[in-house]
Chains A and B, each alone.
Chain A
Amino acid sequence: MLLDIDSLKPIYVQIAEWLEMEILNGNIASDEKIYSQNQLADIFNVNPATAAKGLNILADEKLLYKKRGLGMFVSSHARGAIRSKRIERNLKQLVLELVAEAKRLDVGRDDLINMLIAAELQVTEEGSSQ
């Protein structure tokens, strides 16, 4: 489930990103306990060391903090930090690829912007119909 084997990203990075999504969605609030390494290993059917590596990425970025003997908890600033990180890394990357593909297909700037507006409408509609 969930994991994309064909992705260039290592499994532990994908687990870290999944955890970030859980925090971003508000599924795990700040100061709430996050999944343990064994829980993650069970969910994704991966080696616990791989799961621990995913957790450590977030801990290294101070998005999680450790309580001795209790496990890892979500930092208070985690949501905001994840959001700005995602804009900086993912969104900008996606836009770059989008522009490159448009250029390859000879799609002009105005057409591209119109497509973006149409896509935004679609996403809003899907969101409201749910």
Chain B
Amino acid sequence: MNVVDCSGLTKTFGRTTAVNNLSFTLAPNKITGLIGRNGAGKTTLLKMIAGYLLPNAGSIQVFSENPFNNIKVSANMVFVDENMVLPATMNLGEILESAGSFYAHWDHKLAVGLFTYFNLHPGQYHSKLSKGMRSAFNAILGLAARCPLTIFDEPTTGMDAAVRKDFYRALLKDFMQRPRTVILSSHLLNEINDILDDLLLIKDGEKCLHMPIDELKEYAVGLQGKEETVAEMAEKAEVMHWKKLGKDSVYMAVRNQFAEEELQKARLEGVAISPVAADDLCMYLTARNKGGIDDVFDRN
């Protein structure tokens, strides 16, 4: 049974459409990365899954129920983002102590372990924490709650590189001990790439790609070489991005539909074949024009 099941999901705010006719399902006990540009509709989608917002059209089912105003969904779900509202009169230690009464699977040992590791102090107040420290504390709540559906909406905002790395490793290790459905939104795909099962890429509120992350690596290839040779190869494939390099050389990112022999032949003809990094690929797929930012400058 799927944990999340959306079909034709649409949400508009006034004249802007944040999420547009989105259909997908999330299987249980997988880590899914939700990737998209700023304003692509990631947060709106997550808030509808969490039951914070009501869609304008389409249906959404979480644990086979409508999540809006639903006690079953809120009891089995934790939503971590920058704006988590926590009691202002309680210090961090008190919040941790009382969190157990809200979450059935709360792991206090893990919470305290992470709390100490990330150098937080029980006497501090949530509103007085630095941006990175606050994100770290929110992330600890999200991990230790061990909810069957765990949603992280850009959990690493403000964290430094070391803390981000530690957080993702903590997430992976805890996930192995207690598998659950995790949705992780971020725009730093390279950092989360390895720990994901699936990737959901959205563009302008619509689904762009939803596939196992392993297949993403083979989805596209970068070809660099003489313009005519590369252009000939590109005729048969979908071009996602191109860039002119020097006089007669060109780089193209194309859909990988080549047989190994074709690539081999191209290699011997002097075409450099390279993988397209996952986050570059997502950038190309969500770009509005094939030349990227260069198009703005090449207009004149």
Residues of chain B lying within 8 A (CB to CB) of residue A45 = 168-169, 172, 194-195
Given contacts A6-B274, A8-B274, 9 further A-B contacts (CB under 8 A): A9-B217, A10-B214, A11-B194, A41-B172, A44-B194, A45-B168, A47-B172, A47-B197, A48-B176
Q: Tell whether, in the assembled complex, residue A8 and residue B273 are in contact, meaning their CB atoms are under 8 Å apart.
A: yes
Q: Tell whether, in the assembled complex, residue A100 and residue B268 are in contact, meaning their CB atoms are under 8 Å apart.
A: yes
If A6-B275, A12-B214, A41-B176 touch, whether A49 touches B197 (CB-CB below 8 Å) is yes
CA distance A63 to B213 in the complex (A): 26
Residues of chain A lying within 8 A (CB to CB) of residue B214 = 10-12, 50, 53
Q: Tell whether, in the assembled complex, residue B274 and residue A47 are in contact, meaning their CB atoms are under 8 Å apart.
A: no
Interface size on B, residues (CB 8 A): 26
| Contact code string A41-80 (vs B, CB < 8 Å = 1, else 0) | 1101111111001000000000000000000000000000
Is residue B108 contacting chain A, with contact meaning CB distance below 8 A? no
Is residue A38 contacting chain B, with contact meaning CB distance below 8 A? yes
Residues of chain A lying within 8 A (CB to CB) of residue B267 = 97, 100
Q: Tell whether, in the assembled complex, residue B217 and residue A10 are in contact, meaning their CB atoms are under 8 Å apart.
A: yes
Interchain nearest-CB distance for B40 vs A (Å): 24
Q: Which residues of B contact A (CB under 8 A)?
A: 30-31, 168-169, 172-173, 175-176, 190, 193-197, 213-214, 217-218, 221, 267-268, 270, 273-275, 277
Interchain nearest-CB distance for B178 vs A (Å): 12
Interchain Cβ contacts under 8 Å between A and B, 17 examples: A6-B274, A10-B214, A10-B218, A11-B214, A11-B217, A41-B172, A44-B194, A45-B168, A45-B195, A47-B213, A48-B175, A49-B30, A50-B214, A96-B268, A100-B267, A100-B268, A104-B270
Which interface residue of A45, A46, A47 has the most chain B CB atoms within 10 A? A47
Interchain nearest-CB distance for B166 vs A (Å): 11
Interface residue tally on A, bucketed by range: 20 to 34
Chain B, Cβ-Cβ closest to A11: B194
If A8-B221, A12-B214, A38-B176 touch, whether A47 touches B275 (CB-CB below 8 Å) is no
CA distance A104 to B168 in the complex (A): 45
Residues of chain B lying within 8 A (CB to CB) of residue A25 = none
Interchain nearest-CB distance for B93 vs A (Å): 31
CA distance A101 to B173 in the complex (A): 44
CA distance A97 to B273 in the complex (A): 13
Is residue A114 contacting chain B, with contact meaning CB distance below 8 A? no
Q: Which of B173, B190, B268 contacts A42, CB < 8 Å?
A: B173
Residues of chain B lying within 8 A (CB to CB) of residue A9 = 217
Q: Which residues of A contact B (CB under 8 A)?
A: 3, 5-12, 38, 41-42, 44-50, 53, 96-97, 100, 104
CA distance A12 to B221 in the complex (A): 18
Which interface residue of B173, B190, B214, B273 has the most chain A CB atoms within 10 A? B214
CA distance A46 to B169 in the complex (A): 9
Chain B, Cβ-Cβ closest to A44: B194
Q: Tell whether, in the assembled complex, residue A47 and residue B268 are in contact, meaning their CB atoms are under 8 Å apart.
A: no
Residues of chain A lying within 8 A (CB to CB) of residue B175 = 48
Interchain nearest-CB distance for A57 vs B (Å): 12
Which interface residue of B175, B195, B267 has the most chain A CB atoms within 10 A? B195
Chain B, Cβ-Cβ closest to A12: B214
CA distance A6 to B270 in the complex (A): 20
Residues of chain B lying within 8 A (CB to CB) of residue A10 = 214, 217-218
CA distance A28 to B267 in the complex (A): 36
Q: Which of A6, A42, A53, A100 contacts B176, CB < 8 Å?
A: A42
Interchain nearest-CB distance for B296 vs A (Å): 29
CA distance A9 to B221 in the complex (A): 11
Residues of chain B lying within 8 A (CB to CB) of residue A7 = 275
Residues of chain A lying within 8 A (CB to CB) of residue B195 = 45-47
Residues of chain B lying within 8 A (CB to CB) of residue A41 = 172, 176
Residues of chain A lying within 8 A (CB to CB) of residue B190 = 5
Interchain nearest-CB distance for B163 vs A (Å): 15
Interchain nearest-CB distance for A105 vs B (Å): 12
